[in-house]
Amino acid sequence: MSAAAVYYDPFDPVVMADPYPTYQALRKAAPVYWSDAGRCWVLSRHSDVTSALHDPSTFSSASGVFPTVGAPSMADLFLPMLIMTDPPRHTAMRRIVSRAFTPRRIATLEAGIQELIEGLLDDASSHETWDAVEALTAPLPAIVIADLLGVPREDRDSFRRWSTQLIQSQPQSPRIGGALEAAAALYDYFASFLAERRIRPRDDLMSALVEAEVEGQRLSEDELLGFCFLLLVAGHETTTNLLSNSLVALAGEPDARHAMADDPQLLPRAVEELLRYDSPVQGLSRTLTRSTTMHGQDLEPGDVVLLLFGSANRDEQVFPAADRLDIHRSAEQHLALGHGVHFCLGASLARLEARSALQALLSRHRDWEVDEESAVRLQSGPIRGFATLPFRPIAG
């Protein structure tokens, strides 16, 4: 296939429904592709995406990590966020937040997460068919992140509304206004909690963030608000869609389901493969700080480059039979959680939630079906997943 025969529009609903054949064509014939629709270059091979992630001084995150196609950049729209900061400030900020976001704090959540999942499954089991998003995959991460931050669980419907508004915003569309409204609502929401934690600290992440200090440096008020906002969005839609995509992938794989149900030790490896196979974050962008040449193509400073994690994770050069779900393969080279300095800060939490949810579900139901025809896909360039997903356990 010649480069001219490949057409890729990251915002096309047909591509969103199944992007993998297009990714394969890009990897093969146009590894550095100019997308007119996205007004960005697109990198699709594992080796190229990895090299870009390794070189933040050339591939900068400072203008934002979603292509905004001529609309104001994310940096102009939102308060400063870790994910949109380059070293050396990124290094300092990451050290400060890591101080609050410790493995110890995450490990203390495990028992609560298991109890929460059992409660959600108990509620769902009174119905023959349930919407998996409504019943399990959305409330689980929303409640976990609310508990972690230390805000009321009851506010989770607002979180979901705000974060859906944010991720479904498309460039050059009225929805960008919706994203700004959602961001303003979230900043107001967190500002009042942060003010209270300054006066009366508690044993929660928000209090720890207010107090975290490295070499005399703390986060500014804007950075604190930006970080709470990032955690809510980054920790919520991503985990929801890892779980939803996993339910769909496993629906067609009875052997994998039964093997995991019989031997939960397989779960950690299976979760990595599910992250690889149908990644919730399909791609994020960078902006070039200097000229560079890739595969003979000259790229200029200021050019936006979309890094397709979803395509890199199906690259046959790294993952043989990449289009096949194989829960026994070692998929750890996947880029679903990023790579390099911005590697997902919530990776251990995401893995814990996914493992616990699948284990609890499989111990109740070894078999299920999903109704993909009636499911509603998210209309989001970067996030792949579902707004609704009809799910039916099959009695054994």
User: Contact residues for ligand HEM (CB under 6 A)?
Assistant: 61, 65, 82-83, 94, 145, 230-231, 234-235, 238-239, 242, 280-281, 284, 336-338, 342, 344-346, 349-350
Tell the smallest beta-carbon distance from residue 2 to ligand HEM (Å).
31
Nearer to ligand HEM, 65 or 135 (CB): 65
Query: Alpha helix (H) ranges present in 152-236?
Result: 156-167, 175-199, 205-211, 221-234
Question: Is the link from the previous residue into 87 a cis peptide, with omega within 30 of 0?
Answer: no
Nearer to ligand HEM, 59 or 130 (CB): 59
Nearer to ligand HEM, 101 or 368 (CB): 101
**Coil, strand, or helix at residue 342?**
helix
User: Do residues 269 and 327 make contact, with C-beta atoms less than 8 angstroms apart?
Assistant: yes
Give the integer Cα–Cα distance in Å for 4 and 245: 32
Give the integer Cα–Cα distance in Å for 49 and 39: 18
State the residue number with the nearest CB to ligand HEM: 346
Give the integer Cα–Cα distance in Å for 78 and 39: 21
Tell the smallest beta-carbon distance from residue 273 to ligand HEM (Å).
13
Tell the smallest beta-carbon distance from residue 113 to ligand HEM (Å).
11
Tell the smallest beta-carbon distance from residue 190 to ligand HEM (Å).
14
Nearer to ligand HEM, 120 or 349 (CB): 349
Nearer to ligand HEM, 62 or 256 (CB): 62
Supply the DSSP symbol for 383: B
Residue in 315, 347, 296, 339 with CA at minimum distance from that of residue 51: 339
- Token pair 């495990």: residue: 110
Tell the smallest beta-carbon distance from residue 281 to ligand HEM (Å).
4
Tell the smallest beta-carbon distance from residue 125 to ligand HEM (Å).
25
Nearer to ligand HEM, 6 or 84 (CB): 84
Q: Which two tokens stand for residue 4?
A: 């001219």
Give the integer Cα–Cα distance in Å for 271 and 54: 24
How far is it between the farthest Cα atoms of the chain?
A: 64
Tell the smallest beta-carbon distance from residue 155 to ligand HEM (Å).
16
**Coil, strand, or helix at residue 229?**
helix
Beta-bridged to residue 216, according to DSSP, are none
Nearer to ligand HEM, 25 or 287 (CB): 287
